[in-house]
């Protein structure tokens, strides 16, 4: 980042600051999250995107009370986060932050109670009025020197006397005491408008548990903070610390194009633990121009990773658990209901599988032999974590669900239900379809019969793995019996 010290002795301070910053690389730490929001608009303080900045700055002080300023700051800077720590004998007596003037409305608000000269077009002529600005909004209201109140609904322009705190860029101002000569300080602040996310590509080969894949990952870093960051030590943190969000959010339009160098890395950085998160520090200084999105290596490519390509279907009934047995014969019947079949990719993020490093949250693009299969989102995944990615709906597999029988025995405190799945595999290769069924009528149940083996996955969920031959049809049927104890209330 290019900071611009603006003290009383400008040239001396700039020289001192350049020497100080040459000895120590500024640090920029960007936290994951808000990537899409930051990419779409340039947020102000308290907005989307979160980063921490730290650098060494120097000022030449004259002794006594000395004022100095620092420009080149991001528009997304959080003024309450600014901390300037003296490394010498100087004391910071006061600090002020001036936002960049956003436009004429902002200028007029700051000029309330001050003298303003307003120009108004009357026919082909121009008339000017000078007075104290009382209000600015739907027109301007002036208190003229002769005591009259003039309301101008339309005006061609206005002129202000000098107004304190007006700056073309965000600027910090300090008053120092207690030292003279060159004094070093450590500057800390947080800013919005910087974000990143992981971007992965997976290339798969094979179906079922014979699947093998290659994976590579990069970090997409966006800077819309309103400032350039040049030659910074860049750290990307996979984590989203809680923030109070009490600052007013201000949207600022426009951006500045910079000729700063790109962020570069010859290899992926090593992940390290950073509090409750994981951090990736680039080995070389990076430059992040305002209004840019850059791609930086994040994880080294891995090949031959064991995976599973799975086809799955389920009758969506939610996770609601009934307070009493559901004896309505029509509940969840779904006669001849066609269910979509979803393709998914699963793998374990383990060293034995060729991975094992923390995988930050981001987007995954999945390919097979150069053909695009789909996109999915991956959550923050630790080492040895399980990854399940939904690829998309399968074209050549179809499942149809029908409830074929239902009987209720109130005296025996039981009910029995039979369900059939008709499966069509139009693929030119064999496949296995996993059918997930929720048994929603009551919590106590037993499987009376099934045409395929099942696995109990939860209190009210079972799964069947149904082998399908090439271009074939198959049927799955099961019968479940629900029972309830004496005293359980059953609806009429």
Instruction: Say if residue 27 is in the same domain as residue 172.
Output: yes
Instruction: Say if residue 145 is in the same domain as residue 121.
Output: yes
By the 8 A CB rule, do 281 and 274 touch? Answer: no
Instruction: Say if residue 148 is in the same domain as residue 254.
Output: no
Task: Report the phi/psi class of residue 195: left, alpha or beta, with left for phi > 0 and alpha for psi in -120 to 50.
Answer: beta
406 vs 396: CA distance, rounded Å: 31
Q: Could you tell me the mean pLDDT of each successive run of 10 residues in the chain, 492 residues long? A: 49 41 80 90 84 94 88 90 92 85 65 84 85 84 89 80 63 89 93 94 92 93 93 87 50 35 57 68 89 89 92 85 91 84 93 84 93 92 91 93 95 96 94 93 95 92 95 96 94 84
Instruction: Say if residue 264 is in the same domain as residue 330.
Output: no
User: What total of structural domains would you count in the chain?
Assistant: 3
- Answer whether residue 240 is part of any domain: yes
CB atoms closer than 10 angstroms to residue 89: 11
Half-sphere exposure of 43 (CA within 13 A, CB side): 26
Give the per-residue pLDDT at 382. 86
Instruction: Say if residue 119 is in the same domain as residue 178.
Output: no
DSSP assignment letter at 139:
E
The CATH number of the domain where 130 resides is what? Answer: 2.30.30.520
Instruction: Say if residue 470 is in the same domain as residue 321.
Output: yes
Give the per-residue pLDDT at 14. 38
pTM: 0.71
Q: Which residue has the tokens 């910090």?
A: 172
Instruction: Say if residue 114 is in the same domain as residue 92.
Output: no
Instruction: Say if residue 432 is in the same domain as residue 327.
Output: yes
Instruction: Say if residue 299 is in the same domain as residue 311.
Output: no
Give the per-residue pLDDT at 136. 83
- Answer whether residue 209 is part of any domain: no
The CATH number of the domain where 325 resides is what? Answer: 2.60.40
By the 8 A CB rule, do 51 and 30 touch? Answer: yes
Instruction: Say if residue 320 is in the same domain as residue 454.
Output: yes
Domain that holds residue 400: 307-341+394-483
Give the per-residue pLDDT at 20. 43
Half-sphere exposure of 95 (CA within 13 A, CB side): 12
Instruction: Say if residue 53 is in the same domain as residue 10.
Output: yes
Instruction: Say if residue 31 is in the same domain as residue 174.
Output: yes
- Answer whether residue 346 is part of any domain: no
- Phi then psi for 142, rounded to 5 degrees? -115, 145
């Amino acid at each position: 980042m290019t900071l611009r010290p603006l003290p009383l002795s400008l040239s001396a301070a700039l020289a001192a600051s350049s020497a100080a910053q040459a000895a120590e690389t500024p640090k920029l730490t960007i936290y994951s999250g808000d990537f899409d929001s930051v990419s779409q608009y340039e947020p102000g303080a308290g907005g989307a995107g979160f980063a921490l900045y730290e650098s060494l700055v120097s000022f030449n002080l004259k002794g006594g009370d000395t004022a100095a300023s620092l420009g080149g700051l991001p528009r997304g800077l959080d003024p309450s986060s600014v901390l300037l720590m003296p490394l010498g004998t100087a004391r910071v007596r006061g600090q002020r932050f001036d936002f960049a003037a956003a436009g004429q409305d902002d200028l007029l608000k700051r000029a309330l109670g001050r003298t303003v000269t307003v120009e108004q077009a009357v026919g082909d002529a121009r008339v000017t009025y000078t007075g104290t600005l009382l209000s600015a909004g739907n027109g301007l209201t002036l208190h003229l020197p002769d005591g009259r109140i003039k309301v101008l609904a339309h005006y061609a322009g206005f002129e202000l006397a000098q107004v304190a705190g007006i700056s073309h860029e965000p600027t910090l101002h300090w008053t120092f005491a207690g030292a003279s000569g060159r004094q070093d300080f450590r500057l800390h602040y947080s800013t919005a408008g910087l974000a990143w996310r992981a971007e992965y590509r997976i290339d798969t080969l094979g179906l079922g548990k014979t699947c093998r894949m290659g994976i590579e990952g990069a970090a997409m870093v966006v800077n819309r903070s309103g400032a350039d960051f040049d030659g910074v030590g860049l750290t990307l943190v996979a984590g989203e610390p809680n923030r109070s969000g009490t600052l007013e959010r201000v949207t600022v339009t426009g951006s500045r194009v910079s000729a700063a160098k790109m962020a570069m890395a010859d290899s992926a950085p090593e992940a390290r633990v950073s509090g409750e998160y994981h951090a990736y520090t680039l080995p070389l200084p990076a430059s992040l121009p305002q209004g840019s999105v850059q791609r930086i290596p994040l994880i080294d490519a891995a090949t031959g990773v064991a995976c599973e390509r799975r086809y799955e279907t389920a009758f969506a009934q939610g996770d609601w658990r009934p307070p009493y047995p559901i004896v309505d014969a029509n509940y969840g019947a779904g006669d001849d209901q066609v269910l979509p079949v979803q393709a998914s990719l699963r793998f374990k993020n383990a060293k034995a599988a060729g991975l094992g490093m923390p995988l930050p949250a981001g987007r995954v693009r999945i390919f097979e032999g150069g053909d695009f299969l789909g996109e999915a989102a991956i959550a923050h995944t630790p080492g040895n974590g399980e990854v399940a990615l939904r690829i998309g709906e399968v074209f050549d597999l179809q499942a149809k669900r029908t409830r074929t029988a239902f009987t209720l025995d109130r005296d025996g405190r039981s009910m029995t239900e039979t369900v059939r799945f008709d499966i069509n595999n139009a693929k030119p290769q064999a496949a296995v379809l996993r059918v997930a069924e929720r048994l929603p009528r009551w919590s106590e149940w037993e499987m009376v019969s099934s045409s395929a083996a099942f696995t109990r996955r939860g209190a009210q969920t079972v799964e069947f793995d149904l082998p399908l031959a090439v271009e074939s049809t198959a049927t799955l049927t099961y019968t479940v019996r629900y029972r309830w104890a004496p005293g359980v209330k059953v609806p009429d």
